[in-house]
Every structure is written in C-alpha cells, then in structure tokens.
C-alpha cells in the first residue's frame, strides 16, 4: 500500500522507520530521496554512513561522492570510515572526501595496497610537492598496486612532479622505472622520454633538464 503513494509521500512515510528497514530498502530509500530532494535526504545519508551494513555505507558513500558541493558536509562523518574493516569502504570514503589529520601517518599504517594508493592521492592533494618524500618510496614498492597508486599521486602534483619522476625513471630497478615512466607519460613529458628511455642513442639529458 505504501508503494502506491507518490514518491515524495513514500519517502516521508519510510524515513522515520530507518532502523526497521533492511539493507536493500535503505539503499532504495536513499536513491529515492536523492532523486526527489537531495537536501531533505541529508539526515538519512548521515545515518547511512554510520550503518552497520557495509552495503548501505557504500551506497551512501557513492551518493555523497556524486553530490559535488555537498561532499564537505559529510567530511567529518566519513572520517571514521577510513578505519573501516572493509577496504572497499575505506576507498570510497577516501574518494568521497573523508578528512584525516595526518595523511602521512595513514599512508604508513594502511596495509591494503589499493587503499594505500588512494591515501597517497589524498596526501598529494593536501601537501602538494612538499609531500613527495613520503610518496617516492611507493614507486619502488614490491606490490604493483602500490606503485600504481604512487604514480597516480605524482600525476596529481602536475608539472612539479616531472623532475622527481625523471630521476626515478633512470633508476636501476625496472619496476620503479616503469612506474615513473608511466607518470611522465600521463604528464605529457614525451620529449624527455624519447631522448632518455626510447631512443637507441640517448642524448644524455639530465633528469632536471628539458
């Protein structure tokens, strides 16, 4: 009978009974609320981010990420999710803008390679090139997923990362060279790559040169 009502009426009827709903119904209710009035759905999203059902939390995080300007409203609420037992939840919280007091500490303590990559990205956004010293070890990490995260973090630094990546692209370790070279490709540093890593006769340009 409830579903025969208009969508806005259904939301108003079910929202007060949040704790009585199962995970699928909670996710459905969030989607319904956001489609009709994102502002009115904010209280529900806050409750969803603290829900015991990971599927509900992940759906809420996906919605928060889609809100653009609304992300900041949930940054504090999402912070505890950076320590959630499920790596996927931690990644979504990072992508949605969860706050942390010290990204360096979190980068060192995080054990999941995929999550570490996203922590590295956030560190790069927070500190800029000043955070390069914490990011450089990732380029030579034994796990390719961590190396990929390090590359992505350096790319977020923009042109300031190029001299650093050039140095690592000349390292002895092949995996490290590949990780750095990938970053240089994404930063469009093609001339240097051609002269130093592709050409049969390297022209000897320095890592800091053009």
- In this predicted model, what pLDDT tens digit does every residue of 19-32 receive, in sequence order? 999 999 999 999 99
pLDDT per position as a tens digit, 56-89? 999 999 999 988 767 788 988 999 999 999 999 9
- Mean pLDDT (the chain) is 90
- What's residue 7's pLDDT? 57
Same domain (yes/no): 9, 51 = yes
Same domain, 13 and 87: yes
* Pair 36, 94 in one domain: yes
Contact 144, 123 (CB under 8 A): no
Task: Quote the percentage of the chain above a pLDDT of 90.
Answer: 77
Chosen domain end from 38, 66, 99: 99
Expressed as residue numbers, the domain containing 187 is 104-210
In angstroms, the CA 41 to CA 45 distance is 6
Same domain, 94 and 111: no
* Residue 24 or 201, more confident: 24
Half-sphere exposure of 178 (CA within 13 A, CB side): 12
Interaxial angle between packed helices 113-127 and 87-96, expressed in degrees from 0 to 180 and rounded to the nearest 10:
20
Question: Which pLDDT belongs to residue 36?
Answer: 82
Which of 99, 132, 164 is where one domain is finished? 99
pLDDT band of residue 176 (cuts 50, 70, 90) is: very high
State which of 99, 114, 143 marks the end of a domain: 99
Long-range contacts from 46-55, C-beta under 8 angstroms, 24+ separation: 46/74, 46/77, 47/18, 49/74, 49/77, 49/78, 49/81, 50/77, 51/23, 51/26, 53/23, 53/26, 54/84, 54/86, 54/88, 54/89, 55/23, 55/24, 55/27
Please state which of the ranges 75-79, 114-118, 187-191 shows the lowest mean pLDDT: 75-79
Q: What is the pLDDT of residue 23?
A: 95
Q: State whether 95 and 109 are in the same domain.
A: no
User: Which tens digit of pLDDT belongs to each residue from 156-170?
Assistant: 999 999 999 999 999
Same structural domain for residues 118 and 47?
Answer: no
Do 79 and 129 have their domain in common?
no
**Tokens 């706050």 map to which residue?**
99
Distance linking the first and last C-alpha atoms of the chain? 70
Ranking 26-40, 117-131, 138-152, 195-209 by mean pLDDT, the lowest is: 195-209
Residues 208 and 114 grouped into a single domain: yes
Same domain, 17 and 57: yes
pLDDT over 50 (residue 210): no
The answer on pLDDT for 3 being more than 80 is no
pLDDT of residue 106: 98
Which pLDDT value is given to residue 8?
60
Residues 6+ apart with CB under 8 A from 199: none
Is residue 92 domain-shared with residue 13, that is, in the same domain? yes
What number is the average pLDDT over the span 50-60? Answer: 96
CB burial class (10 A; 0-12, 13-18, 19+) of residue 18? Answer: middle
Same domain, 193 and 208: yes
In this predicted structure, the answer to whether residue 137 has a pLDDT above a threshold of 80 is yes
Supply the pLDDT for residue 39.
82
Q: How far apart are CA 2 and CA 96, in angstroms?
A: 33
* Residues 34, 135 within the same domain: no
Pure H helices in the chain: 7-14, 23-36, 38-49, 54-65, 75-78, 87-96, 103-109, 113-127, 132-135, 144-157, 162-169, 174-186, 190-193
Q: What pLDDT does residue 9 have?
A: 76
**Total number of domains constituting the chain:** 2
């Amino acid at each position: 009978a409830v579903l025969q009502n208009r969508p806005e009426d259904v939301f108003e009827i079910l929202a007060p009974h949040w704790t009585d709903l199962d995970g699928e119904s909670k996710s459905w209710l969030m989607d319904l609320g956001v489609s009709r009035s994102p502002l009115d759905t904010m209280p529900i999203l806050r409750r969803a981010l603290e829900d015991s059902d990971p599927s509900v939390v992940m759906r809420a995080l996906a919605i928060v990420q889609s809100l653009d300007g609304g992300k900041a409203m949930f940054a504090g609420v999402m912070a505890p999710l950076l320590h959630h037992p499920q790596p996927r939840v931690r990644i979504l919280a990072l992508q949605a803008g969860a706050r942390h007091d010290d990204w360096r500490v979190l980068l060192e303590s995080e054990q999941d390679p995929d999550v570490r990559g996203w922590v590295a990205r956030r560190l790069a956004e927070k500190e800029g090139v000043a955070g390069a010293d914490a990011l450089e070890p990732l380029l030579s990490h034994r796990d390719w997923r961590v190396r990929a995260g390090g590359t992505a973090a350096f790319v977020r630094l923009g042109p300031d990362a190029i001299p650093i990546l050039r140095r690592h692209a000349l390292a002895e370790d092949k995996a490290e060279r590949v990780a750095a070279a990938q970053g240089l490709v994404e930063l469009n540093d093609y001339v240097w790559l051609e002269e130093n890593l592709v050409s049969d006769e390297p022209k000897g340009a320095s890592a800091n040169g053009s």
